[in-house]
Structure 1
Amino acid sequence: MSRTFVVYESMFGNTRDIAAAVAEGAAEAGPVTFVEVGEAPDRLPDDVGLLFVGGPTHAFGMSRPATRDSARQQAGGPLVSERRGVREWLAGLDGRSKVTAHCFDTRVRVRGLPGSAARGMRRVLRRAGVTTGTAESFWVAGTPGPLVRGEVERARGWARGLAAAHGARTAR
């Protein structure tokens, strides 16, 4: 049985909360490792078959050092992810083609607002030869949050369904 790996970057804690719900949902189908991106290994363990990668949307895409500095100023204190972000982790990741990856982000719910960190992550993974699935956005009420009501439950169900489908495909 393969393991699911959930890697996340979070500034104010909203993406961490979504990532925790993703891990809970995926755990219904098998073992899960849940890790903040600063602690994530540069090479995925060989038993990982399903990867979920998440981060906040900053300036219409994945965070950068400058956008993380801006978030730090807004927070007035330490951030959840103080070191590298998913952009840097993905750039250095020794990917494997046998992994299926799904990406998620948190972003402010504004009609017509362009950009998605999740779609950017999916493009990077696809270019690296990783099989990619969905890119899903979860909504926050404002830059520091909170999450819109129901988003944690939606994240849990999203991951539950994807992990169950992945398990069914690999069992054949």
Structure 2
Amino acid sequence: MKALVVYESMFGNTAAIARAIAEGLAGGYEVTLADAAARPSAAGVDLLVVGGPTHALSMSRPATRADAVKQGASEHSGGGLREYLDASPGLAGLAAATFDTRIDTRYPTGSAARKARRKLRRLGCRVVAPAESFRVSGTAGPLLDGETARARKWAAGLRVA
């Protein structure tokens, strides 16, 4: 079984979660980990897992990425998760799951994972798990304690069935 984990990361937090997810999947899958800007193909994959940071209540956009760079994020050329999904061909029947990182707050922050899940469904994917969010302490992070372990555990429970 093959799994592809595609992520977008501005400050490194989502990349850390994506690596933890890849580790969690490694027990049952041959895993490929790829940045969304590289536009990896999902051909021949049994499970597609996608994730990115939550920006302005949703998946990042060019304007929110530019704002993140002003706050110290690394430059992110080639687009992100939104552009990856927009450029994806139909993925009829492909098992999929989504995740995001977002600020730990009592106020609503939206969810990039929920938006990505809706996009994957429109592309024909069969979503096998609810969207999952992993928390960061602020815009630049760091991840809250235990989030990478929680990501590994979440991923280990993903089943294509």
Q: Please, what TM-score do these two structures have when normalized by structure 1?
A: 0.89
1:115 to 110, 118, 121: 110
Q: Who is 2:33 aligned against? A: 34
Q: Does the 8 Å contact 1:44/1:95 carry over to 2?
A: no
CA drift at 1:50: 0.4
Between structure 1 and structure 2, the one with the greater Rg is 1
Deviations 1:73-113 (A, max 9, x none): 101x634x432111111011013223111000000011241
Q: Who is 2:63 aligned against? A: 66
**Structure 2 runs not aligned, ≥5 long:** none
Q: Who is 1:153 aligned against? A: 149
Q: Does the 8 Å contact 2:57/2:111 carry over to 1?
A: yes
Q: Does the 8 Å contact 1:104/1:136 carry over to 2?
A: yes
2:120 to 114, 117, 125: 125
Matched, 1:98 2:93: yes
Identity %: 50
The letter for the 2-side match of 1:94 is: P
The letter for the 2-side match of 1:84 is: G
Larger proportion of helix:
1
Q: Does the 8 Å contact 1:44/1:94 carry over to 2?
A: no
Deviations 1:17-67 (A, max 9, x none): 0000000000111200000111133x422x201010000000000000000
The letter for the 2-side match of 1:70 is: D
Q: How many residues align?
A: 160
CA distance in 2, matches of 1:113, 1:153: 24
The letter for the 2-side match of 1:74 is: Q
RMSD, aligned CA: 1.3
Report runs of 4+ in structure 1 exceeding 4 Å deviation: none
2:42 to 44, 68, 80: 44
Q: Who is 1:142 aligned against? A: 138
State which drifts further: 121-130 or 55-64. Answer: 121-130
Q: Please, what TM-score do these two structures have when normalized by structure 2?
A: 0.94
